[in-house]
């Protein structure tokens, strides 16, 4: 079974960023490639363009604990937020993309990121 931190990496880490003709195609490709459209089209998912060790550091010294197991990153990351389009269904999941640079909030277990809080771009 996939560990929680491996699942976090599969769902959220894309470094260097996979190339695609445009951001919408990027989302369609990445959501499928990372197994996020198999049983249902995952409604929203964020990909972070950063090495996994930078994200792991948020759970150690590069993040501020805000309660529970949640940490806010000190630095901003380049991210792509993929949101499913109406009418999508498994086998034909279509997404819209929003790109930006923002701080992120992760949930940590054993000093490893295992959860990404929903990320909202301005």
Range of the domain at 96: 4-114
**73 domain residue, yes or no:** yes
Catalytic position from the list 5, 8, 12, 42? 12
Is 115 known to be catalytic? yes
**64 domain residue, yes or no:** yes
Q: The CATH number of the domain where 16 resides is what?
A: 3.10.130.10
Catalytic position from the list 10, 94, 105, 115? 115
Is 74 known to be catalytic? no
Residue 113 has pLDDT above 90, yes or no: yes
**119 domain residue, yes or no:** no
Residue 56 has pLDDT above 90, yes or no: yes
Percent of the chain at pLDDT above 70? 99
pTM of the model: 0.96
Q: Domain count for the chain, please give it.
A: 1
**108 domain residue, yes or no:** yes
Q: Concatenated DSSP letters for 19-71?
A: P-SSHHHHHHHHHHHTTSSSSS--SEEEEE-S-HHHHHHHTTTSEEEEETTEE
**120 domain residue, yes or no:** no
What is the C-alpha separation between 108 and 30, in angstroms, rounded? 24
**Strand pairing partners for 100?**
79
Under the banding of pLDDT at 50, 70 and 90, the label for residue 120 is confident
The confidence score (pLDDT) of residue 119 equals 84
Nearest by Cα to 23 from 105, 79, 107? 79
């Amino acid at each position: 079974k996939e560990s929680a931190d491996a699942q976090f990496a599969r769902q959220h880490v894309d470094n260097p960023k996979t190339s695609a003709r445009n951001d919408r195609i990027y989302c369609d490709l990445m959501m499928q490639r990372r197994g996020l459209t198999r049983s249902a089209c995952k409604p929203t998912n964020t990909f972070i363009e950063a090495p996994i060790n930078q994200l792991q550091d948020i759970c150690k010294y590069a993040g501020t604990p805000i309660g529970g197991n949640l940490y806010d990153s000190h630095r901003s990351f380049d991210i792509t937020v993929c949101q499913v389009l109406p009418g999508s269904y498994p086998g034909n999941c279509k997404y819209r993309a929003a790109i930006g640079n923002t701080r992120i909030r992760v949930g940590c277990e054993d000093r490893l990121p295992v959860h990404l809080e929903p990320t909202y771009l301005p």
